[in-house]
Amino acid sequence: MLNVKINGKEVQVAPGSTILDAAKEAGVSIPVLCHDSRLNPFGACRVCLVEQVGMPKLMAACTTPVTDKMEIITESEKLARVRKTAIELLLINHPLDCPVCYKGGECGLQDLTYEVGVTKVRFDASPNDTPVDHTNPFIERDIDRCVLCGRCVRICDEVVNIQAISFLNRGTDTMIGTSFEQPWNCEYCGQCISVCPVGSLNNRVYLFKNRPWNLESEKTICGLCSCGCTVSIDYECNEVFRMNEMPEEGVNHGYMCAKGRFGFDFMNSVKRETEAQITVGGEAKKATVAEAVEYAAEKLKGLKAEEVAVVVSPRITNEEAFLASKLAETIGTKNVFSTETDEIMPEGAYSEVEASDALAVLNINVTESNPILGLAVRVAAREENANCFVFYPSETALKRVATELITGNPDELAVKMEKFCAAMGGADNDFSAMAKTMLEAEKPVVVFDPYNKADAYIAQEIKKACDKVILVPAKSKNNSVGIVDMGFGKNNPADFAKGVEGGTIKAVLCFGENILVRSGWSKLEGALAKLDLLMVTDPFMSDTAKAANVYVPVATFAEKSGSFTNLEGRVQEVSKAVDKGVSADADVIAALGKALGAELPTDVYAVRKLIEKEVKLYSGIQWDGGKVAYPSVFKTEMEKASATAKGSGKFYLYPASLRLHSGSYTRWSPDLAKVYGTPKLELNDADANEMESAEGDTVKIKGDGFAGEFVVEINKQITKGCVSLPEDFASTADIFSLGRYLKAEISK
Amino acid sequence: MAENEVVETEEIEEIPDIEANFDPTACDEICEQYKDWKGATIPVLQKTQDAYGYLFPALVERIAENMNMSPHTIYGVITFYAQFYTKPRGKYIIRVCRGTACHVQGSGRISEIVGEEFQIKDGETCKDLLFTLEEVSCIGACGLAPVIMINNKTYGNLKPEDARKIFKDYATNLPEA
Ligand code: SF4
Ligand code: SF4
Ligand code: SF4
Ligand code: FES
Ligand code: FES
C-alpha cells in the first residue's frame, strides 16, 4: 500500500491507483469531465488538474498514478485559475443554448461552469452552427455542443466493442463522427448517450418532451428481458418520460440496451386498454374488473377442476406467479403452464462471465438476445489472455472480440458443435485445440440457448466432460426463471396445446401471455375459440386478448411492485413508479381467488412471506439481489436432439434473435416500431444478387407446410445459402412451430 | 500551344474507375501480410494507398473487414494523419512552400499561377487527375526561396513566369512520375 496525503489528509491506496482514486478515498472531490471510472484513463480535458507539493508542474488527477509519500493539493488559487481557464476554453465554441438543450439541468459542463465560477469568457466566443445530425434513429447528434471528452467513442470501443463512432480529423477540426460521415448505424444501445456530459448525444425518444427537474425517479428493474438491468423510471404525473441508466449501478453496471432505453414508450401508449371486456356470442361488452372476474368465476364453477388450465407469462412478477399457482391450487387443477420449463436453470453470474478466461458461446446471438450478458462476454473476451469461441450460423457482433467465429449453415454448424463437444470429451479432431483451451482454462464459461434442445444436450455433455465449466443458459424474458421457481415450469408446454386441441382443457386463465405468437402455440387460434372460458389479462388488446371472452387490462412492470429473477437466478426488486388506473395481475388473481372462496394476499410482503415458507429455493432469499442456489442446471439427462433442418429447399431458415424487440410487448413502442416494425427476412448479399432482389423488396418463402411473404434485409454477415426471420411475430411463430431449422425456397 | 489547351477540363463528376470497378485483390494481399501484427493499421493504410492512390469508402470497408476493425476507427486514423488521402490525387503533386522566406519572396503568386493553369486550389486535384496543389510550410530550402516541389523534384529561385513554364512543360510532356 502507498501512503498519500490529499489536502493534508493521509490515506492508503493500492499501487496503480490514480490521484483521483486516492482523493475519493480521502473524501475529497476533484472536478472531472472526460473521466469515467468504467473507462480507461484518458486525460483530455485538464479539468482535474492538481498540484503536488514541491513540484511546479500540475498534473491530471484522473491519469496520474500515485507514488509513495506523494502530497497532493486539490484546491489553491493557482488551481482555481487554471480550472477556470480550462472551462473558459471549452466555452469558446460552445453554443450555450442551455435553455433549449436536452441536457439543461443535468449537464456536466453547466455544473462545472457553476462550480468553478466562470461568469464571463475572456476569449472571443465563436460558436459554430453545424446542422444537427439525425441519421441515427434514436440518437440526435449536435456536434457543436461536443467538448471532445471522448467518452462516447471510448465506451463504444471499450464496453460495447462496436466502434460505431470515432474521433475524426485533428487539431481544431477534431470531431466525433462516422467513416466518410456516413449515416450513423449501430447497435443503438445508447451507452454513448449515457456518458456524454453535454447535450451533444441526445435520446430522441425523450428529446423535447420534458425537463429533468420536472421528473421524479423510481429505481426498478427493467422488465424487457432476462438480463435484469437496474434502471430508473423517470416520470411526471403517471407518464413515463424515460427509462434511464443509473450510472454504475446494478448487475448491468448502469448499461442498458435499445429496448430498455428507447422501447419503454409502450407504457404510455394511447392504444392501451383501460376497461375490462366480456365477450358473449361474438359481442364484446365493456365491464368492470369485478364483473369480469365474477363472470369468469361463474364459468369456472360449472367446470371440473382438471378442465381448467392456468397459463402465466414470464413477464409477471414472482409474487404474481406465486398467487397464480395458489389460484390453481384453489381450483384444484394441476394444469399450470407457461412457455418455460424447469428442465434448465441458471448457474453462472455475470461476474463469473466477466472474469472468464475461456468462453464458448453456443449458437446464440447473445448481444441481441441478452444484451447485458453480451456485454459481460465482451468484457471477458477483450482481455489479452482470454479466448472466446463463438458458434453461430452467421457472423455476429462478437466478431470484434472473438478468438474464433465458427459459422456455417445449421447442419454444418450442428456437426461442428458436436465435434467440439466430442473434443471436450477427449476425441481427437479439428476442435481439439479449442477444447484444450477450454479444458485448461481456469474459469471456462459456456453460454447457450436453453430453448434449443440440441444445444442444451451439448452444453450438458460439455459440463460432464469438464465440471469446472460454468454454464449460462440465456433465458429470455424478465422473469423466465422466476415463474418456473413459482411452479410454472413443471409441465411441458406441448401438453397445453394438446389439452386445448383435444378438448380436455375447457377453460384457460391466461395471465399476461400472448399465446398466439408463441412458437408451438401459435396455431391454437381455432381451438381457443372453442373454449368455455378464455380469460386473458394483458396491458394491450393482444392477439390472444382479442380471442378471449373475458379480458382485463393490467399494469406493466412500471406500475407494480414485486420481484423478477434474472438469467443469473438473481432475485431483484421491482418498484411501482406510475399508476395508469388499471389493476395489477396480482389484484385480478386475488379477486378471482376470492370469488372461488380463497383468501389470497396481494400485499407484496405478505406474498413473499408465503413464498419463503412454501418455495424451498426462496427460503431466506434476499429479495433485493440474492441469487437462488439451484441444485443443478439440468433437471434430468437431456436427450440428444436432432438439429438437422427439416424439409427441402435451397435455403436454410433459422430464427434470428429479436431485432430490437422483446417479445410482442415492445411492438407497441412507436420508436422501436419505426426502426423495426415488421419481421424482415435477412439474406446474404450474394444470394440477393443472384435472385436480383434488393433491400426492401418483398420475396416469397415456401417450405414444407409453410409459405409467406417478407421484406428483404440484406445482411453480409448471414452465411450464404441461409436466411433468417425473427421469432415471436404471429407470422413467423407459425413457421417456427414446425421446427427450429427448416429448408425453404425463396423467390421473387 | 494555346494556353487553354493544356488542361482538358471535361466535366467528369463520375466516380473514378478505380472506385467504380474496385478490385480488392491487392488490398486483400496487403491485409493478409499484416494479419497477425499488432498496430498494423498504419502500414496497411500506407501500402493500400500506394496500391490504389487514395483511400475511398469501399476500400476502407474492405480493409476494415479484413483487419476485423471498425471502418470508423480506420477513418479516424486516416483523417488524423496528413499522409493519407481520401480523394484521388494527381500524378504530379505540386508542393508550394508557404513558409516565411518563400512567402516574402512571393510564393503566393506561384500558388495563384497553379490555379490559373489548372483551376485548383490548395488541397485540390484537377479533374484529369494530373495535378494536385499542396501548400506546405517551410521545406528547409529557404536559401532558394521561393521553392516548389513537383513530386520529388525541387525547383528554387523561381520567378512566377518560370514556374508557369515548368507547369506547362509537365502538362505537355507528361514525364514519368
Ligand atoms: S448507441 Fe451503442 S453502439 Fe451505437 S454508437 Fe452509441 S455506444 Fe456505440
Ligand atoms: S459527443 Fe459527448 S461524449 Fe462524445 S466526445 Fe463529445 S461531449 Fe464527449
Ligand atoms: S431489455 Fe434487457 S438488456 Fe435491455 S435494458 Fe432491459 S433488462 Fe437491460
Ligand atoms: S477528467 Fe482528468 S483530464 Fe479530463
Ligand atoms: S520558407 Fe520556403 S523553404 Fe523555408
What is the rounded average pLDDT of the residues B113-132?
A: 92
Residues A361 and A429 in one domain: yes
CATH number for position A237: 3.30.70.20
CA distance linking residue A488 with residue A512, whole number of Å: 13
ipTM: 0.90
Contact yes or no for A431/A406 (Cβ under 8 A): no
Q: What is the overall mean pLDDT for chain B? A: 90
Instruction: Examine residue A90 and state whether it is found in any structural domain, yes or no.
Output: no
| Non-local CB neighbours of B74 within 8 Å, separated by 6+ positions | A179, B41, B45, B60, B63, B64, B67
Kindly indicate the confidence band of residue B14, based on its pLDDT and cuts at 50, 70 and 90: low
Residues B96 and B169 in one domain: yes
Determine the structural domain holding residue B52 and report its residue range.
Answer: 15-80
Considering only alpha carbons, which residue of chain A is nearest residue B68?
A400
pLDDT at B58: 96
**HSE toward the beta carbon, residue B140, CA cutoff 13 A:** 0
**Of A166, A170, A399, which has the smallest distance from its Cβ to B73's Cβ?**
A166
pLDDT at A744: 95
Q: Using a CB-CB distance cutoff of 8 angstroms, which residues of chain B are in contact with residue A163? A: 69-70, 72-73
Instruction: Examine residue B10 and state whether it is found in any structural domain, yes or no.
Output: no
Q: Using a CB-CB distance cutoff of 8 angstroms, which residues of chain A are in contact with residue B71? A: 179
pLDDT digits (tens, 9 = 90+) for A570-612: 999 999 999 999 999 999 999 999 999 999 999 999 999 999 9
Query: Which parts of A486-603 fold into alpha helices (H)?
Result: 493-502, 525-529, 543-547, 585-595
pLDDT higher than 80, residue A728: no
pLDDT higher than 90, residue A293: yes
**A712 CB within 6 A, ligand 4:** no
The neighbour count for residue A720, using CB atoms within 10 Å, is 13
Residues B117 and B160 in one domain: yes
- Which of B80, B112, B136 represents a domain boundary (last residue)? B80
CA distance linking residue A553 with residue A542, whole number of Å: 10
What CA–CA distances, in Å, run from B158 to B6, B130, B139, B164? 21, 22, 15, 10
Considering only alpha carbons, which residue of chain B is nearest residue A401?
B68
Residues B26 and B49 in one domain: yes
Instruction: Examine residue B147 and state whether it is found in any structural domain, yes or no.
Output: yes
Instruction: Report the separation in Å between the CA atom of B162 and the middle of ligand 5, taken as the mean of its atom positions.
Output: 18
pLDDT at B39: 86
Interface membership of B70 toward A (CB under 8 Å): yes
pLDDT at A663: 60
Task: Give me the phi and psi of A359, to 5 degrees please.
Answer: -125, 140
pLDDT at A93: 83
Q: Report the number of distinct structural domains present in chain A.
A: 5
- Whether A178 sits inside 8 A of B74 (CB atoms) is no
CATH number for position B100: 3.40.30.10
**In the block, residue with C-alpha cell 469531465:** A33
pLDDT at A554: 98
Residue with CA closest to ligand 4 atom 1: A32
- Whether B60 sits inside 8 A of A162 (CB atoms) is no
Question: Quick one: cell of A364?
Answer: 446464440
CA distance linking residue B105 with residue B145, whole number of Å: 6
Q: What is the overall mean pLDDT for chain A? A: 94
CATH number for position A427: 3.40.228.10
Interface membership of B58 toward A (CB under 8 Å): no
Better-predicted residue by pLDDT, B16 or A723: A723
pLDDT digits (tens, 9 = 90+) for A294-326: 999 999 999 999 999 999 999 999 999 999 999
pLDDT at B9: 46
Determine the structural domain holding residue A27 and report its residue range.
Answer: 2-75
pLDDT digits (tens, 9 = 90+) for A198-226: 999 999 999 999 999 999 999 999 999 99
The neighbour count for residue A80, using CB atoms within 10 Å, is 12
A230: nearest Cα among A663, A669, A625, A658:
A625
CA distance linking residue A374 with residue A359, whole number of Å: 12
Kindly indicate the confidence band of residue B12, based on its pLDDT and cuts at 50, 70 and 90: very low
Residues A392 and A337 in one domain: no
What is the rounded average pLDDT of the residues A265-283?
A: 94
Residues B97 and B168 in one domain: yes
pLDDT at A539: 96
pLDDT higher than 80, residue B133: yes
Name every residue in A having a CB less than 8 A away from some CB of B: 157, 162-170, 177-180, 182, 399-400
Residues B39 and B103 in one domain: no
| Non-local CB neighbours of A273 within 8 Å, separated by 6+ positions | A539, A540, A541, A545, A551, A553, A582
Contact yes or no for A424/A432 (Cβ under 8 A): no
**A60 CB within 6 A, ligand 4:** yes
A610: nearest Cα among A387, A357, A320:
A320
Collapsing DSSP to helix, strand or coil, B61 comes out as: helix
- Whether B72 sits inside 8 A of A166 (CB atoms) is yes
Kindly indicate the confidence band of residue B1, based on its pLDDT and cuts at 50, 70 and 90: very low
CA distance linking residue A726 with residue A625, whole number of Å: 32
CATH number for position A301: 3.40.50.740
CA distance linking residue B77 with residue B88, whole number of Å: 18
What CA–CA distances, in Å, run from A91 to A97, A106, A111, A202, A583? 11, 17, 13, 19, 51
